[in-house]
Amino acid sequence: MQYTPNNPLDPKERLRADLPPEANSTASSCPSSEGIVITECGFGLIYVNGEDADEFLQSQLTCDISALTLNQSTYSGWCNPKGRLLTTFMVLRSPLGFILLLPSNNIDPVTSRLKMYILRAKVSVEKAPQTIEVVELCGGQLIHNIKLLVDTLDSKCGITLHNYPNNQERALIIGEAESLKTLRAELDQPVLAADENHHHWLNIRHGIPEISITTSELFVPQEVNLDLLDGVSFTKGCYPGQEIVARMRYRGKLKRRMFSGHIDISSLQPEDYPSAGDTLRATDGDQQKVGTLVATACTLNKGMDVLAVLPAQSEPGSRFSLSNRENQMITLHTLPYSIGQES
């Protein structure tokens, strides 16, 4: 695999890569014939295995685990009893059990808390060993070529490849570091290297929330559009916070939704850049908080793309300011899916 991990993706190529149609109808999903490899994408892994693994996760997570087929992935969340998200996951059903991918700074508290709910269930919940690595791939041709290589390698190598939910242009390969090294040596295709910032930027472009320890317990699933990403089931049985989540759908009007936007940070030093958890307010002089940043990622020309939870009636082009920096404005953009004004 011809890439240099310490030579990140050129910013011009970064902005061309994997743009949704609404953002740039002429952009390709990946620069030229090359793919993008992100060796450090900020994921932590939890393995959930055992005879009762399906039932256990079905009773804890917001998604419908029973609908997840082998090698399929889905978005999901885990709530506290008040219906607020402790974290978000990408859930994979692999031949060896379930893999939960979540922001790495959430891995220890979430693993410990999940274990508290095992009780007598025949299930194990463990962090992945440090020898396990996750590499993100961008680009349909690269993913296709990697899949062919994985299929030809000895099954004992333990490498698995999983597409992002409903996205053939993004995928993850998971395996032992030595096995991935062998895989890289076998790939005869030039690729571009990118860093964790690019991973977050892609998620922002696709409207995918990542609830980390910074934003834990701030939002209900619908406020970060998890229901619009098929990450919430309203027909399955109970899970922590299910009554609150269902009530918001069926009996109350949803007041906040997640939007994408852009901030000009050219006047700021890196230590002063906005970050997840920062609050927003309207530009009409009202000092009241109206929203919260969910995710941020730097772009070209000292810019920053963000996801923010704001009043549900907000529209593209609307502007808000950071509560602690009145001159730093966020301008809303269009997400690649419809938010609507449903209850």
Q: Does 208 lie in the same domain as 283? A: no
Q: Which carries the bigger pLDDT value, residue 53 or residue 288? A: 53
- Please tell me whether residues 91 and 240 are part of one structural domain: yes
Which amino acid, residue 289? K
Pair (172, 318) in one structural domain: no
Q: Does 91 fall in a domain?
A: yes
Distance, in Å, from the CA atom of 137 to the CA atom of 104, rounded to the nearest integer, reads 18
Domain containing 85 — which CATH number? Answer: 3.30.1360.120
Do 224 and 300 lie in one domain? The reply is no
| CATH number of the domain residue 293 falls in | 2.40.30.160
Q: Are residues 289 and 154 in the same domain?
A: no
Instruction: Decide which of 251, 277, 307 is a domain's last residue.
Output: 251
Residues 266 and 192 in one domain: no
Going by C-alpha positions, the residue among 300, 277, 280 that lies closest to residue 290 is 280
342 within a domain of the structure (yes/no):
no
Asked whether residue 341 is assigned to any structural domain, the reply reads no
Q: Determine what percent of the chain is predicted with pLDDT higher than 70.
A: 87
Among 207, 229, 251, where does a domain finish? 251
Tens of pLDDT, residues 211-243: 999 999 999 999 999 999 999 999 998 999 999
**264: in domain:** yes
Q: What is the pLDDT of residues 75-129, one digit of tens each?
A: 999 999 999 999 999 999 998 899 999 999 999 999 999 999 999 999 999 999 9
Same domain as 312, residue 198: no
pLDDT of residue 6: 33
Q: Is residue 156 part of a domain?
A: yes
DSSP, res 279: E
- If we measure between CA atoms, which residue out of 251, 218, 259 comes closest to residue 234? 251
Domain range for residue 49?
A: 7-251
User: Band of the pLDDT at 329, cuts 50, 70, 90?
Assistant: very high
Region 149-171: mean pLDDT is 87
Beta bridge partners of 280: 291, 322
Indicate whether 84 and 218 sit together in one domain: yes
Domain end (from 232, 251, 270)? 251
Same domain, 13 and 141: yes
Confirm whether 340 is domain-assigned.
no
If asked whether residues 35 and 58 sit together in one domain, one would say yes
- Helix, strand, coil percentages, rounded to 5, for the chain: 25, 35, 40
Q: Do 127 and 187 sit in the same domain of this protein?
A: yes
Is 339 inside any structural domain? no
Whole-number Å distance between alpha carbons of 332 and 262: 7
Q: Taking the model in full, what pTM does it have?
A: 0.88
pLDDT of residue 23: 34
What is the domain count for the chain? 2
Position 1 in a domain:
no
